[in-house]
């Protein structure tokens, strides 16, 4: 995306309504992957869009003894062309980038951090206003917050906030315990639990589509919708993240957070107003009403899989167990499919099928609402019976939506056949959407929690999967790992789960 996009007056006008206050963004885990892959690129993008105040600084913190200059040059290297194409802007932006070696477990380091922040405040006029970003190992979220609070760095709720990466806890009880710790360090409105899916334009669009149009909401319920499929398919494998992924698996890595957030936004009730607490309350409520389709025998409604080798002869792909750092006998799932119900007036009896996997046939995230069949079939349909109407919300790539419905096939008869009506972000707006982190970092710095997960939501999401997590822990044989070939659509067992309901997974 180029800086020239800011010339769109509408875009500038809308953005000027929300001005980021002077502040210092402190990144813990600055030598890690997320910082150079997502955070610094997102901040630089905000800079290019002229959305950062001139009184702004980034302080990178990690254990490595880097200097400011080393930090700047490592980040420039990671950003590659983005920096060389915008060298002057980068020089300006990076003049506000600093680095301090900090181990949050060491008191003397945290004290030194405090004085470095004071120095930066004087140098960059950042007015004691700080956003702390914990991009560290999840084991340190609680103690990290505690260290900041003990050093008095979270004392002012107006001028300090903490962003916490996922996973927030490992299960229901650890999430509850972590919530207790972080809430003892600051107020709930200072805590920003990030889920980058909520930063995606298309995920936010689900709310706009539902609540800004009159045609969808009246039919957005069990009377008209027969099932919902939510997919997040990836073509990548575990990459260099075996250390983390081995103890996480797809259920904790993708389902509990990203897929559950998509489900919540798709299924929530209409909030009374567009305000952070109204929206988050509706999301929490719908998650509290959600349950596994078979809570007593969860193995009937969940399939776990793991990718094996695959690809082509010229580009063979390793199986998960052969990936660097992965236990050759690993039983970590790289694929999950499951069936859920939501016990409320709107959704009673409508199955929600959720699936995610690595090394699948295609990179694709989408929400598909399938409508009930017409009660009477008046016309012959191509293929024997009319295709059910479907609304497909394409989260990524090829962001947009499509609606499938039956029309008359040209000719003298009265046969029907399905067609699609399309909306594409690219075609309609002609500019790529911002990365999720651009939106979310800006929102955190603006202290706007709308797109962050509240404590009750995160707990409800963990509670929902507790029967499965317990089963994997106590009787893993009940939820066996089904191998699947890389670059396919996952294990056949997941197809059988839908076939039992007379359905198919969508394979676009
Ligand atoms: C992350 C997961 O949260 O989301 C990764 O830890 C996954 O395993 C990634 O690859 C997917 O994000 P996106 O935006 O590419 O769909």
Q: Cα of 366 to ligand 1 centre, how many Å?
A: 14
Of all protein residues, the one whose alpha carbon is nearest to atom 15 of ligand 1 is 234
The Cα diameter of the chain in Å comes to: 85
pLDDT at 212 over 80: yes
Percentage with pLDDT > 90 across the chain: 90
The rounded Å distance from CA 243 to ligand 1 centre is 16
C-alpha 469/C-alpha 157 separation (Å) is 36
Q: How confident is the model at residue 17 (pLDDT cuts 50, 70, 90)?
A: low
- For 438-479, what is each residue's pLDDT tens digit? 999 999 999 999 999 999 999 999 999 999 999 999 999 999
Atom of ligand 1 nearest to the CA of 358: 10
> From the CB of 171, is ligand 1 less than 6 Å away?
no
Ligand 1 closest atom vs CA 365: 16
Tell me, in angstroms, the distance from the centre of ligand 1 to residue 39's CA: 14
The least confident of 180-184, 370-374, 378-382, 435-439 is 378-382
CB 490 within 8 A of CB 306: no
Six-digit token string for 337: 């499919």
Give the residue among 90, 87, 81 at the shortest CA–CA distance from 43: 90
Q: Partners of 423 in the beta sheet? A: 401
Residue minimizing CA distance to atom 13 of ligand 1: 197
Q: Which residues contact 460 (CB under 8 A, 6 or more apart)?
A: 284, 287, 288, 290
Annotated catalytic residue within 36, 196, 258, 482: 258
Q: In whole angstroms, what is the distance from residue 177 CA to residue 169 CA? A: 8
Two tokens, residue 168:
């927030």
Q: Is the CB of 234 under 6 A from ligand 1?
A: yes
Instruction: With a cut of 70, say whether residue 335 has pLDDT above it.
Output: yes
Residue 191 and residue 182 in contact, taking contact as beta carbons nearer than 8 Å: yes
Nearest CA to ligand 1 atom 14: 197
Provide CATH 3.30.360.10 ranges for the chain. Answer: 198-499
The Cα 156–Cα 178 span in angstroms is 21
Ligand 1 atom having least distance to the Cα of 244: 6
CATH 1.20.1250.20 assigned to 17-165: no
Nearest CA to ligand 1 atom 2: 253
pLDDT at residue 401, as a whole number: 96
The two three-digit tokens of residue 123, written as one number: 């140098």
Q: Is the Cβ atom of 294 under 6 angstroms away from ligand 1?
A: no
Decide if 258 is catalytic: yes
Confidence band for 14, pLDDT divided at 50, 70 and 90 = very low
DSSP-based three-state secondary structure for 434: coil
Ligand 1 center–CA 126 separation, angstroms: 33
CA distance readout (Å), 212 to 203, 206, 209, 215, 217: 15, 10, 6, 9, 9
Residue located via tokens 């039919």: 219
Entry pTM: 0.93
The chain-wide mean pLDDT, for the chain, equals 93
Atom 4 (ligand 1) nearest CA: 254
SS3 309: strand
Q: Which CATH number fits domain 198-499: 3.30.160.270, 3.40.50.1110, 3.30.360.10, 3.40.109.10?
A: 3.30.360.10
Yes or no: say if 457 and 243 are a contact pair by the CB < 8 Å rule: no
Distance of CA 409 from the midpoint of ligand 1 (Å): 42
Measuring CA to CA, which residue among 36, 125, 53 is closest to residue 93? 53
Residues 398-419 pLDDT 10s: 899 999 999 999 988 888 999 9
How much is the pLDDT for 327?
Answer: 97
**Stretch(es) of the chain classified as CATH 3.40.50.720:** 17-165
**Probe target for ligand 1 pocket from 249, 253, 434, with the most ligand atoms within 8 Å of CB:** 253
Note the pLDDT of residue 376. 86
Mention every residue, 6+ apart, whose C-beta is less than 8 A from residue 99.
30, 59, 60, 61, 66, 67, 68, 70, 71
233 CA to middle of ligand 1, Å?
10
253 within ligand 1 shell (Cβ under 6 A): yes
């Amino acid at each position: 995306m180029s800086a020239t996009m800011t010339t769109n007056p509408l875009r500038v006008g809308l953005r000027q309504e929300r001005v980021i206050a002077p502040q210092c963004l402190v990144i813990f885990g600055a030598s890690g992957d997320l910082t150079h892959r997502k955070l610094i690129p997102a901040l630089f993008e905000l800079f290019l869009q002229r959305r950062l105040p001139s009184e702004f600084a980034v302080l990178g913190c990690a254990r490595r003894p880097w200097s400011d200059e080393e930090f700047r040059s490592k980040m420039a290297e990671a950003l590659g062309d983005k920096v060389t194409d915008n060298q002057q802007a980068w020089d300006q932006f990076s003049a506000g980038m600093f680095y301090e070696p900090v181990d949050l477990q060491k008191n003397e380091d945290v004290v030194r951090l405090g004085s470095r922040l004071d120095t930066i405040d004087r140098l960059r006029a950042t007015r004691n206003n700080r956003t702390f970003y914990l991009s560290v190992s999840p084991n340190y979220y609680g103690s990290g917050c505690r260290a900041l609070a003990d050093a008095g760095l979270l004392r002012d709720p107006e001028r300090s906030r903490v962003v916490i990466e996922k996973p927030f806890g490992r299960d229901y009880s650890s999430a509850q315990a972590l919530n207790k710790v972080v809430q003892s360090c600051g107020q709930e409105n200072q805590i920003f639990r990030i889920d980058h899916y909520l930063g995606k334009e298309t995920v936010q669009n689900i709310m706009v589509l539902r609540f800004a149009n009159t045609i969808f909401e009246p039919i957005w319920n069990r009377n008209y919708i027969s099932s919902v499929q939510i997919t997040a398919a990836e073509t990548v494998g575990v990459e260099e993240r075996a250390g983390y992924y081995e103890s996480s698996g797809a259920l904790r890595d993708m389902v509990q957070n990203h897929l559950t957030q998509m489900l919540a936004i798709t299924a929530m009730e209409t909030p009374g107003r567009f305000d952070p607490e109204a929206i988050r309350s509706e999301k929490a409520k719908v998650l509290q009403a959600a349950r596994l389709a078979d809570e007593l025998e969860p193995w009937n409604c969940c399939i776990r899989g793991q990718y094996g080798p695959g690809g082509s002869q010229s580009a063979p792909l390793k199986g998960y167990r052969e990936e660097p750092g992965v236990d050759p006998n690993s039983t970590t799932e790289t694929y999950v499919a499951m069936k859920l119900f939501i016990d409320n007036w709107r959704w009673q009896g409508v199955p929600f099928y959720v699936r995610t996997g690595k090394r699948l046939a295609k990179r694709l995230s989408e929400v598909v609402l399938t409508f009930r069949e017409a009660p009477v079939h008046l016309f012959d349909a191509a293929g024997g019976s009319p295709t059910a109407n479907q609304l497909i919300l394409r989260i990524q790539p090829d962001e947009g939506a499509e609606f499938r419905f039956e029309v008359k096939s040209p000719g003298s008869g009265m046969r029907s056949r399905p067609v699609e009506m399309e909306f594409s972000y690219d075609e309609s707006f002609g500019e790529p959407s911002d990365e999720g982190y651009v939106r979310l970092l800006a929102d955190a710095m603006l202290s706007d929690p709308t797109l962050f997960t509240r404590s009750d939501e995160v707990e409800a999401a963990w509670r929902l999967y507790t029967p499965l997590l317990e089963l994997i822990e106590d009787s893993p044989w009940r939820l066996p790992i089904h191998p699947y070939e890389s670059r396919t659509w996952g294990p056949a067992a997941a197809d059988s789960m839908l076939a039992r309901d007379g359905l198919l997974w969508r394979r676009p």
